[in-house]
Structure 1
């Protein structure tokens, strides 16, 4: 697929390569093809996600439709954070999700025809193909992000302007209704997946990308070390409880040796034993719950990947 919408439905009209700038970016002259393609690569392509593309099923369902509409993001209590980095588009972290606004140049039929369609220059075609696949995948995400008029209203809010101003609901429906025709074969591997969890990307970044994180969420040491407070306090509390129980047990043996306080000896002895057993049981149950949840996610990921491969083989 070269151009994902008809000229009659374009939202940015009158683009002229010879005398215009890139729509929405006055600093970029449209007459400089190499500069425009370099700009588009920076804007739309994500080298990191393309690099780990074969492993993206570790982080998310292999399903292009795994994208919640904007109103659903609010239902999930997620704050929509506007980003211009394509590598963060549809990446979510606890109570926030990053979304890249829909750029004007992707809504111009003439722009697609000039810079993203194939021509006789094979060297340029290879470069354009990478950009076009990223652009098609990016456009398709908006078919799922804005499915209802309420989503459209959210996208036009002043603090999160995700679509160009002046666009009406009917106009957006006319152009976005054609985005569903974009298949996985038309897009790069990143956009064959929907939302991706940032915590997992950060966890596997040292293994897959060779660096400490995919995207650093906190910039202050205080905020960074704050994440260690709870597990450290939990560990010391368990250790303190175990040591106290052992100390009680030793003291009980001393009482027994002096042959005084048999009732106190019985109560203290059993209390220390039960305290240690209870602590061990709590830790064991928590560890088991974690392993079960972790294993269930991997089982689901393998099943989803198997279904995806089976569906492709049938086609």
Structure 2
């Protein structure tokens, strides 16, 4: 395992190397005052708590567990990540999250992004926690290392221009520490951009993921009612059903009204306006037929979009498998 950046280009030197880290087999011992960069309440001397915190901050267990099925939910490419300026163009609000499960998960006009932790910008942190044979992370070291590599690589895609960098450092985002400069960030990212899929965890073989799809497939893949509940009230939850319900109601109302008109014309006994009866009858039939055609059109369009997405997913999956076999 290699470090994704050199010590000369590290963006943080706040992590204090513990005693004994030079020796591969010896245990590392932190000073009682040493804390995790960016988290003064996390004392490194309490190795169990610190290791648990770091693992939870970097590993998205739900997505890792279903990483082999994520091709069903999103484009099978780790580069499927829009830079921050493109997120703005798409009308998405950048919402800060500290939950790795939500990193790069988007919902309609929002995308959740986890800020870059200060400790991941430290060369010493990578040496001690993610590379040392006797890492405080223990058996989880390799898994956390791959998750950290994948997470770090996402910022190569998120920040590709100086405008992206400016967005990331806005006071309402703070995705990157304020003291980091654009030039220093570019130098830091030189080797990060070369990270390959086999070096990262399964979740980071993919980029952005739509929350609505995660929630839809959660009962099947995660055996849970939903992946993430973002509706705070019942009204917000049921609001998404209003459109389809009104559409069905309008279709049924139009059909029933057309049928009622057709039947009423046949039952009229008076001969007044008899020359208009055929018009009324055929107009009601035309309205009924048009309503059915429109309803069928929307159903067909939905089925076509659904089928097209699955066909695209299969094509990409087979292409990636063939590419791997060709390399072998």
- What range is the shorter-chain TM-score in? over 0.9
TM-score, normalised with respect to structure 1: 0.95
Instruction: Verify: 1:234 aligned to 2:225, yes or no.
Output: no
Give SS of 1:11's match: coil
Could you give the per-residue CA deviations for residues 146-194 of structure 1, whole angstroms, max 9, x where no partner exists? 1111111111100000001210111111111111121111111100101
Pairwise mapping of residues 59-138 of structure 1 onto structure 2 (< 5 A)?
Answer: 59-119=73-133, 125-138=138-151
CA RMSD of aligned residues (A): 1.6
Give SS of 1:64's match: coil
Question: Are the counterparts in 2 of residues 143 and 177 from structure 1 also a CA contact under 8 Å?
Answer: no
- Residue 36 of structure 1, CA deviation: 1.9
Name the CA distance, whole Å, in 2 between partners of 1:309 and 1:118: 34
Q: Once structures 1 and 2 are overlaid, which stretch shifts more, 259-268 or 23-32?
A: 259-268
Instruction: Verify: 1:269 aligned to 2:281, yes or no.
Output: yes
Look up the match of 1:4.
4
Match of 2:238 among 219, 225, 237: 225
Look up the match of 2:67.
53
Question: Are the counterparts in 1 of residues 78 and 204 from structure 2 also a CA contact under 8 Å?
Answer: yes
Could you give the per-residue CA deviations for residues 242-275 of structure 1, whole angstroms, max 9, x where no partner exists? 11111111111112x6555432221111011111
Name the CA distance, whole Å, in 2 between partners of 1:10 and 1:119: 22
Structure 2 unaligned regions, length at least 5? 19-29
Pairwise mapping of residues 186-201 of structure 1 onto structure 2 (< 5 A)?
Answer: 186-201=199-214
Look up the match of 2:292.
280
Instruction: Verify: 1:304 aligned to 2:316, yes or no.
Output: yes
Higher percent of residues as helix: 1
Pairwise mapping of residues 144-183 of structure 1 onto structure 2 (< 5 A)?
Answer: 144-183=157-196
Give SS of 2:94's match: strand
Look up the match of 2:23.
none
- Residue 216 of structure 1, CA deviation: 1.1
Match of 1:248 among 245, 253, 261: 261
Change (3 A) 1:124 1:73: closer
- Residue 92 of structure 1, CA deviation: 0.7
Question: Are the counterparts in 1 of residues 73 and 209 from structure 2 also a CA contact under 8 Å?
Answer: yes
Aligned residues: 313
Give SS of 2:179's match: coil
Name the CA distance, whole Å, in 2 between partners of 1:169 and 1:115: 27
Give SS of 1:226's match: helix
Look up the match of 2:301.
289
Structure 1 unaligned regions, length at least 5? none
Look up the match of 2:22.
none
- Residue 47 of structure 1, CA deviation: 1.3
Name the CA distance, whole Å, in 1 between partners of 2:6 and 2:49: 26
Name the CA distance, whole Å, in 2 between partners of 1:75 and 1:261: 59
Question: Are the counterparts in 1 of residues 15 and 119 from structure 2 also a CA contact under 8 Å?
Answer: no
Give SS of 1:272's match: helix
Q: Once structures 1 and 2 are overlaid, which stretch shifts more, 16-25 or 133-142?
A: 16-25
- Residue 32 of structure 1, CA deviation: 2.6
Name the CA distance, whole Å, in 1 between partners of 2:70 and 2:36: 32
